[in-house]
Amino acid sequence: MKTHRLVLLPLCMLMGCDREAPVTKGNMMTLSSLYDFETLPGRVHKLHQRATDSSGSVVHEVNAEFDRQGCIIAFAMDSDLSGRVHLKRQAAQLTGDENGEAVVYELNQQCEIESKFNLAKKQRTRFRYNEQGWLVESIPEYAGVRYRYAYDDTGLQLSVIGSAENRTIEEIHYTWPQKAARPADYTMNIKTPEGESTISMRCEYQKKIPVACDIVRQPGANSAGVTLKATLETTFY
């Protein structure tokens, strides 16, 4: 989670819900950290998520398809806030374009994304996972920074810490007021050299799966909040 655009941020893994878990969640977690959408529990087949502004205009939209093992098949993002991305899996690679530039993702045998390579800019980002298959570190090699991800024992995200040259450049901490009953409702506190901000999300649910959410960003103590309304449509195997 490198950025804090006011969209569907990658905030919760929801590992403890009722639906049977797939073999891997690693690629969904990694893609959500790059492209700002909600990860979901269980054997997700297709997801469609979009966010609208106060005028009702769609400002961020994501479509993704996964196989029965949880491995990504295709991904598309069309966003005024985050850009345009189209990807398809071919053997052990996820290939396509990002804002008009060719990109290649390398997948391991568990279908975890090991690296992202931008062919035009010759830039590589590497990813690491823990034994549970949860993303624990992303390293944009060209930027000289790394991001570390921490979770509770159910897979809910607790923090993201960005560092460069042995100093912290970014801190994100999450709190979950009702994580058992409402696992996508959260408050996220963000601290950077430019200042502090808060993002909160409150959702409507069907069987613990979020289907509609209000996302509010408070840029600072004396700034007016900005609200987006999000819808999340999900089909399962």
- The domain spans of the chain are 26-236
pLDDT of residue 219: 83
CA angle 171, 125, 161 (to 5 degrees): 10
Q: Is pLDDT of 80 > 50? A: yes
Locate 123 and state its tokens.
């830039």
- Burial label for 87, CB within 10 Å (0-12, 13-18, 19+), is buried
Reduced to 3 states (helix: H, G, I; strand: E, B; else coil), residue 35 is helix
pLDDT of residue 24: 61
Mean pLDDT across 103-132: 94
Confidence of residue 153 (pLDDT cuts 50, 70, 90): confident
Q: Which helix (H) or strand (E) holds 28?
A: helix 26-35
Locate 11 and state its tokens.
């905030």
Torsional sign, CA 72, 76, 81, 83: positive
Measured in whole angstroms, the distance separating CA 12 from the mean position of its chain's CA atoms is: 8
Confidence of residue 17 (pLDDT cuts 50, 70, 90): very low
Mean pLDDT across 223-235: 90
Is pLDDT larger for residue 15 or for residue 96?
96
Measured in whole angstroms, the distance separating CA 94 from the mean position of its chain's CA atoms is: 17
Most confident range (mean pLDDT) of 11-15, 91-95, 219-223 is: 91-95
pLDDT of residue 119: 97
Q: Is pLDDT of 228 > 60? A: yes
pTM: 0.85
Mean pLDDT across 198-213: 93
Mean pLDDT across 200-207: 93
184 close to 174: Cβ distance less than 8 angstroms:
no
pLDDT of residue 8: 46
How far apart, in whole angstroms, are the C-alpha atoms of residue 75 and residue 15?
22
Question: Whose CA is closest to 210, among 11, 5, 1, 70?
Answer: 11
The CATH code for residues 26-236 is 2.40.160.190
Confidence of residue 22 (pLDDT cuts 50, 70, 90): low
Task: Please list the residues that pair with 90 across neighbouring strands.
Answer: 93
